[in-house]
Amino acid sequence: MSDHLLIDRSQGVLTLTLNRADKKNALTREMYGDMGDAIAAAENDGSIRAIIIQGSADCFTSGNDVSDFIKNERTGTDSPVYRFLKAVCHASKPLIAAVNGPAVGIGTTMLLHCDLIYVAQNARLKMPFVNLGLCPEAGSSFLLPRLLGHPRAAELLLLGEEISGTRACDIGLANQALPAGQAVLDAARAAALRIAELPPSSVQLTKRLIRNGVSRTADEVMETEGEHFAQLLSGAEAKEALTAFMEKRKPVFN
Ligand code: COA
């Protein structure tokens, strides 16, 4: 178990806190594995009624660790990242996200699998897959247009446009935009505690009815995206984009 993920189980709520401040909570294989395992274990734990995924008061996550991308350590549907994605995609208990600061790549796509999303007004949501020579993941190529319509999904996925938490709320990607910091974490906790007091079977059935088969399709799309993603990750465009990030320079695509 990595100390880059803090796990708390109290008052009927499983809280996963990303804890790798020096790398802006970039997600490693170990962190994905620990998150996936904790969410999967909650499925069979009757004492857990809701799950919170959060970062710190100033950063959600900068997405997949770029040096893991460079090492190409992400492929295969049995890899830790896919274990995590499948766990969030099929979680029967409500998932609640608290987003402060940057939510890059999977930091935003994982939100598409959450049920309640609280963001800082100045949070920075971004899915720069194309910019990195990659393609959408986590079922986002299916979930995002369905949620926002094609033009907005294209703006976010083709251009890799960054949006604020306030804008994310305006377009229906989040529930509430709050002043940055503790207020966001508190709002997520308050929602989780409300859920924890509700009748659990009714909550879980309602979640399933609301998602109405979406998870099944998202899972299928995720597999297809994963194959393309793995292929692109080995390509020259991704290599240039990812190396440029690590070298703190602008990428050049010839
Ligand atoms: N993987 C690995 N390291 C990362 C990282 C990532 N996804 N994101 C940030 N870091 C590291 C930086 O390299 C830097 O390390 P250093 O101090 O050893 O140089 C440190 O975290 C701080 O990042 P920095 O970019 O200086 O912070 P910032 O506040 O200026 O910007 C972000 C924060 C999140 C906007 C910016 O780091 C970013 O855009 N990250 C890239 C995210 C990305 O492309 N993820 C993949 C998405 S698919």
Q: Could you report the per-residue pLDDT of 104-158, keeping only the tens digit for each?
A: 999 999 999 999 999 999 999 999 999 999 999 999 999 999 999 999 999 999 9
Q: Which of 106, 94, 103, 124 is nearest to 198 (CA)?
A: 94
Rounded distance between C-alpha atoms, residue 46 and residue 68, angstroms: 35
Least confident of 36-40, 77-81, 106-110: 77-81
List beta partners, residue 119: 99, 177
Site residues for ligand 1, CB cut-off 6 Å:
23-24, 26, 62-67, 102, 104-105, 128-129, 132, 245
Mean pLDDT of the chain: 96
Domain assignment present for 137: yes
Rounded distance between C-alpha atoms, residue 56 and residue 123, angstroms: 12
Domain assignment present for 57: yes
- Dist. CA 198 → ligand 1 center (Å): 39
Closest residue to atom 40 of ligand 1, CA basis: 62
Average pLDDT of the segment spanning 92-114: 98
Domain assignment present for 108: yes
Cα 208 to its chain centre, rounded Å, is 19
- Dist. CA 215 → ligand 1 center (Å): 30
Q: Which of 153, 113, 135, 123 is nearest to 57 (CA)?
A: 123
Q: Which of 152, 166, 161 is nearest to 118 (CA)?
A: 166
- Dist. CA 64 → ligand 1 center (Å): 10
Range of the domain at 137: 5-178
Give the strand order in the sheet containing 163-164: 102-104, 124-126, 163-164
Rounded distance between C-alpha atoms, residue 204 and residue 52, angstroms: 15
- What band does 77 get if pLDDT is binned at 50, 70 and 90? confident
Pocket test for ligand 1, best of 62, 70, 74, 99 (most atoms within 8 A of CB): 62
DSSP E strands, 11-133: 13-18, 50-54, 95-99, 102-104, 116-120, 124-126
Q: What is the pLDDT of residue 1?
A: 72
Q: Answer yes or no: is pLDDT of 74 > 70.
A: no
- Dist. CA 73 → ligand 1 center (Å): 18
- Dist. CA 28 → ligand 1 center (Å): 13
Domain assignment present for 73: yes
Domain assignment present for 38: yes
Please report, for the domain that includes residue 80, its CATH number: 3.90.226.10
Q: What is the pLDDT of residue 156?
A: 98
**Atom of ligand 1 at shortest range from CA of 66:** 1
Domain assignment present for 212: no
Q: Could you report the per-residue pLDDT of 187-210, keeping only the tens digit for each?
A: 999 999 999 999 999 999 999 999
Q: How many domains does the chain have?
A: 1
Domain assignment present for 95: yes
Domain assignment present for 159: yes
**Atom of ligand 1 at shortest range from CA of 23:** 21
